[in-house]
A and B are shown apart, each in its own frame.
Chain A
Amino acid sequence: MKKTGKYIMAIAALLLGFVFITPIWTIDMEAPQYPEGIGMEISINKIEGKSKQDLQNINGLNHYIGMKPITPESIPELKIMPWIFGFLIVSGLGIAVWGNRTALLFWIILFILLAIAGLVDFYLWGYDYGHNLDPNAAIKIPGMTYQPPLIGSKQLLNINATSLPGFGFYVSLLSMGLATYVYWRSKPDTK
């Protein structure tokens, strides 16, 4: 790796620091009763309402269809993910210093696998929330499930839910892209 490559790799690793301060995914909901919308922001370590009280209000609405309340403290991934990203940053910086191309390739592959795993995990949570409903729910519509879309919009009763990647996700993609660029431009390691 040349000097420039090392710098870019260092930037790629440091960029991941953004996921600690910006959400990686957002779910916006629109309903006639919420003209200004309500929504959730999913970060690697927490789930918050777009406005302070949104999560409480979303849970309030969800209890009518028997959905489990979304309680961030019961989701173990929110405790694991900061360590994963911490590892990616530290190892990424290490690779930038070391300049080893093969290690970089492993880093990129690991990152991609983790990202896929994360999306699958997110889908499974969504599936669980949307399908495992309290049989005593007030509102029961035969055949109706309430899984939010992984990406895109879906009408769920009176609520139009739109799920989109957040800033943290795009920064992660950029980081991944920069790392791949460095890998692509650098010459194979010499023994």
Chain B
Amino acid sequence: MQTKKQNKRLLWWSIPLIAVLGITLYGCPSQQNLAGSSDAAQKVYVAPGEHDEFYGLFSGGYSGQLTTYGLPSGRHLYTIPVFSQAPVSGYGYSEETKPMLQTTHGFIPWDDAHHPELSQTDGVPDGRWVFINANNTPRVARIDLGNFQTAEIIEIPNAAGNHASPFVTVNTEYISAATRFSVPMDENTLENEDVAISSYAENFKGTLSFIKIGEEGEMSIDFQILVPGFNYDLSHAGKGPSEDWAFFTSYNTEEAHTLLEVNASRNDKDFIAAVNWRRAAELVANGEGREIPAEHYRNYIDHDEHRAKSELIETVTVLDPTENPGIIYYLPTPKSPHGVDVDPSGRYIVGGGKLSSVLPVHSFEKMIQAIENEDFEGEVDGIPVLNYDSVIQAEVENAGIGTLHTEFDGNGYAYTTAFISSEIVKWSLETFEVVDRIDTYYSPGHLMIPGGDSRQPAGKYLVALNKITKDRYLPTGPELFHSAQLIDISGDKMELLLDFPTDGEPHYAQGIAADIVKERQVRFYPLEENNHPDAVKSEADTRVVREGNEVHVYMTTIRSHFAPDNIEGIQVGDKVYFHVTNLEQDWDVPHGFAMLGAQNAELLVMPGETRTLTWEPKKVGVFPFYCTDFCSALHQEMQGYVRVSPSGSDVPISYGTGD
């Protein structure tokens, strides 16, 4: 119980606090570098029926999915199910998609997806695929931008917390993966071990993985590089002169295993690891490296059969830098760097010095010079550490507090997010001086300029991906969507154009000119190319077949009925497989399938596709199923019944659509 006196004291204490808050939060809207609001409105106005100029592909963070927005309007176009089950379509519930989420830990229904990265040709996004990492149970997914569906997921063995992933090399030869949380690894097999956590310094290791991308996009882990047990944070491949290299930031070079917020923030400098992936790949191709057992799954859509398959891969090749000198060097970089970004020319490597007062910019040319001169200030576990003063090009002063990530506009400027000072800072790649800054609301993590991490950025818009939303929109209780801000960067001064909420927690994002992706779009799947073994191509072939306790219903949908729509002879204790083929051959005519009492989800079946839902009836009676997607004027009539008899009943299997 508080006394009156205490209350009074509290009140007095709060006055200076209110004054401080008042000053810091003073008149937010009026201080925003907002283009004249009608001007801004015009710039983001995409008339009804018109299309946006860019696709924005935003990671869903803890939603595990990838969300698609139109830019500059901020329209939410679609959410691509990737690492999380999606009852909305049956992804991860249907028999055809369940294998996509298979891992050596079993079926994993969720993950934390951070960094989308478009495939590139000649250092420019080409619109074929977008890759995205799973941070929690280490995996990488490939999404086909022809149909906006996840086409492949590969598990990363010998890793924990796949954060520095999946960044592409200039011709999508490789994408990266890495260990965020180092873990104990057996010296020979790299297998995780049952050891004391306090033996971190002795036993814990990390790996940097290079995933090879085949002609059709198929992924395979070409090699892993064994590295000291730091936390590897982010990555970007080089381009132009640096295109044979990939860069990874690290923190926790202190090798702390508890209270990292303090214990991993002590060193003045951590490292950016520069990996000569070309050389490493050549070594592996020449038989260097050690093949070790490392079971991991590769799950992929068999495009012929329209369904996912899982393949267990037994081994992986490991390169030890101590045995293969010249593949990796450490660039000292101030204070737990977060992002590592390479400018469009490929000459500069920008580290996000999260806890640093300056933004360090390394020179690739100087790095090569230092390597040639063996200008090392030491080594860590056999990895040479280059001399900081020899590789640094500039330290950008006054670049904000808590600098995280940098993107480029292709016109000689870089844009860096500052989390703590909640702003984006524009600086020159010539003078390395700040030329403009703009507040964001609030605390940006990543930022995205379409093509902004490629050789050819489209320096028109910038999207700030903010971590804190607070008062930006109508409140929705304690949990708020994250906020994105669209900023016009076409002029000298950055101008805030638009504010929009985003689904999940977007970390990184990618943007690409809409035309490149639009022309690849699939509208429906030709029925004659559907080679799913359980597909039925016409109503005449629909049937119900009992195989012991399993009952297979081969069913079709077309506006506005199911065939068959009356099914009898099912018994309690059966496992019923509804194999539903959508006979439609028309754009945007999916049919849904929902079965009362099914303990999974619905099916949303695209035209020409076959999807399978299982149902294990628990009760006797007659139960309806129906179409969940408002397909036609007679959608409400699109329904059917299943009669469930007691176990052992003599009601025979029968089915049909009447006479």
Residues of chain A whose beta carbon lies under 8 Å from any beta carbon of chain B: 52-53, 56-57, 60, 64, 138-139
Q: List 14 A-B contacts (CB under 8 A).
A: A52-B585, A53-B524, A53-B585, A53-B586, A56-B585, A57-B585, A60-B558, A60-B584, A60-B586, A64-B632, A64-B634, A138-B633, A138-B634, A138-B637
B586 closest partner in A (C-beta): A57
Min CB distance A71 to B, Å, is 14
Select A60's contact among B524, B559, B633, B637, beta carbons within 8 Å: B559
A179 CB to closest chain B CB (Å) equals 43
A40 to B585, CA, bound (A): 16
Q: Hey, which chain A residues are within 8 Å of B633, CB to CB?
A: 64, 138-139
Looking at A52, A56, A60, the one whose CB has the most chain B CB atoms below 10 A away is A60
A52 vs B528: C-alpha distance when bound (angstroms) = 12
**Distance of A60 Cα from B584 Cα, bound (Å):** 9
Which partner residue on chain B sits nearest A60 by CB separation? Answer: B559
How far apart are the CA atoms of A159 and B637 in the complex, in Å?
22
A53 contact set on B, CB distance < 8 A: 524, 585-586
B505-529 CB mask vs A (1 if < 8 Å, else 0) is 0000000000000000000100000
**Which chain B residue has the least Cβ–Cβ distance from A35?**
B49
User: Which residue of chain A is the closest to B637 with respect to CB atoms?
Assistant: A138
Q: What residues of B have a CB within 8 angstroms of the CB of A138 in the complex?
A: 633-634, 637
Which of A52, A53, A64, A138 lies at the interface centre, i.e. has the most chain B CB atoms within 10 A of its CB?
A: A53
Q: Which residue of B524, B559, B586, B637 has the most chain A CB atoms within 10 A of its CB atom? A: B586
**Separation of A57 and B586 alpha carbons in the complex (Å):** 7
Contact with A along B578-617 (1 / 0, CB 8 A): 0000001110000000000000000000000000000000
Chain B, 190-244, CB within 8 A of any chain A CB: none
Complex Cα distance, B558 from A138, in Å, reads 15
Nearest-neighbor residue (CB-CB) of B632 within chain A: A64
Number of interface residues of B (CB under 8 A): 10
CB distance from A49 to the nearest CB of B (A): 10
A52 to B634: give the CA distance in the assembly, Å. 25
B126 to chain A, nearest CB (A): 27
Q: Which 9 A-B pairs have the closest CB atoms?
A: A53-B585, A57-B586, A56-B585, A138-B634, A60-B559, A53-B586, A60-B558, A64-B634, A64-B633
Closest to A53 in B: B585
Cβ distance B188 to chain A, nearest Cβ, rounded Å = 58
Contacts of B585 in A (CB 8 A): 52-53, 56-57
Of the candidates B558, B559, B585, the one having the most CB atoms from chain A within 10 angstroms of its own CB is: B585
What B residues does A56 contact at CB under 8 A?
A: 585-586
Q: Taking the nearest CB of chain B, how far is it from the CB of A136, in angstroms?
A: 12
B35: shortest Cβ distance to chain A, in Å?
33
C-alpha gap A141/B201 in the complex (Å): 82
Q: How far is the CB of B287 from chain A (nearest CB, A)?
A: 51
CB closest chain-B residue, reference A36: B587
Beyond A53-B586, A57-B586, A60-B586, 15 additional contacts (C-beta under 8 Å) are: A52-B585, A53-B524, A53-B585, A56-B585, A56-B586, A57-B585, A60-B558, A60-B559, A60-B584, A64-B632, A64-B633, A64-B634, A138-B633, A138-B634, A138-B637
Q: How far is the CA of A130 from the CA of B641 in the complex (A)?
A: 34
Residues of chain B in range 550-568 having any CB-CB distance to chain A below 8 Å:
558-559
In the assembly, what is the distance between CA of A53 and CA of B585, in Å? 6
**Complex CA–CA separation, A60 to B524 (angstroms):** 16
Using Cβ atoms and an 8 Å threshold, which residues of chain B touch A139?
633
Distance A53 CA – B524 CA, assembled complex (angstroms)? 10
A52 CB contacts on chain B under 8 angstroms: 585
Give bound CA distance, A60 to B634, whole Å: 12
Output the nearest chain A residue to B634 by Cβ-Cβ distance. Answer: A138
CA distance A101 to B559 in the complex (A): 58
Q: How far is the CA of A138 from the CA of B637 in the complex (A)?
A: 10
Q: Which residue of B lies closest to A57 (CB)?
A: B586
Q: Which of B338-359 contact A (CB under 8 A)?
A: none
CA separation between A53 and B588, bound complex, in Å?
13
Name the distance in Å between A34's Cβ and chain B's nearest Cβ: 9
CA distance A53 to B583 in the complex (A): 11
A52 CA / B632 CA spacing, docked (Å): 21
Interchain CA distance A56-B632 in the complex, whole Å: 16
Which residues of chain B have C-beta atoms less than 8 A from A60's C-beta?
A: 558-559, 584, 586
B317 to chain A, nearest CB (A): 47
**Bound CA–CA A57/B559 (angstroms):** 10
What is the chain B residue whose CB lies nearest that of A63?
A: B559
Q: For B632, what are the chain A residues with a Cβ–Cβ distance below 8 Å?
A: 64
In Å, the complex CA distance between A173 and B524 comes to 39
Find chain A residues with CB under 8 A from B586 CB. 53, 56-57, 60
Measured in the bound complex, the distance between the Cα atoms of B585 and A148 in whole Å is: 24
A137 to chain B, nearest CB (A): 11
Q: How far is the CB of B576 from chain A (nearest CB, A)?
A: 28
Chain B residues within an 8 Å CB radius of A57:
585-586
Chain A residue with Cβ nearest B588: A33
A31 → chain B closest CB, angstroms: 12
A64, B632: Cα distance in complex, Å: 10
Determine the distance from Cα of A64 to Cα of B589 in the docked complex, in whole angstroms: 16
| A53 CA to B634 CA, complexed, in Å | 21
Bound Cα distance A75, B637 (Å):
33
Identity of the chain B residue whose Cβ is nearest the Cβ of A56 in the assembled complex: B585
Min CB–CB distance A83 → chain B (angstroms): 31
Task: Look across to chain B and name the residue whose beta carbon is closest to the beta carbon of A138.
Answer: B634
- Chain A residues closer than 8 Å to B524, beta-carbon distance: 53
- A57 to B585 CA separation, bound complex (whole angstroms): 7
Q: Which residues of B contact A64 (CB under 8 A)?
A: 632-634
Enumerate B526-560 residues with CB–CB distance to A below 8 Å: 558-559
Could you tell me the distance in whole angstroms from the C-beta of A99 to the nearest C-beta in chain B?
Answer: 52
A contact residues around B584 at 8 Å (CB)? 60
CA distance A179 to B586 in the complex (A): 44
Report Cα–Cα, A20/B99, bound state, in Å.
50
Question: How many Å from the CB of A63 to the closest CB on chain B?
Answer: 8
A60 to B585, CA, bound (A): 10
Point out the residues of chain A lying under 8 angstroms from B637, CB to CB.
138
**Cα–Cα, bound, A141→B122 (Å):** 61
| CA–CA, A53 and B589, complex, Å | 13
A178: min CB distance to chain B, Å: 42
CA distance A57 to B589 in the complex (A): 11
Instruction: Give the complex CA separation of A138 and B635 in angstroms.
Output: 12
Q: How far is the CA of A81 from the CA of B644 in the complex (A)?
A: 56
Q: How far is the CA of A122 from the CA of B634 in the complex (A)?
A: 31
A57 CA to B632 CA in the complex, in Å? 12
In the assembly, what is the distance between CA of A139 and CA of B524, in Å?
27
**Least distance between A13 CB and chain B CB atoms (Å):** 39
Q: Shortest Cβ distance from B321 into chain A, in angstroms?
A: 56
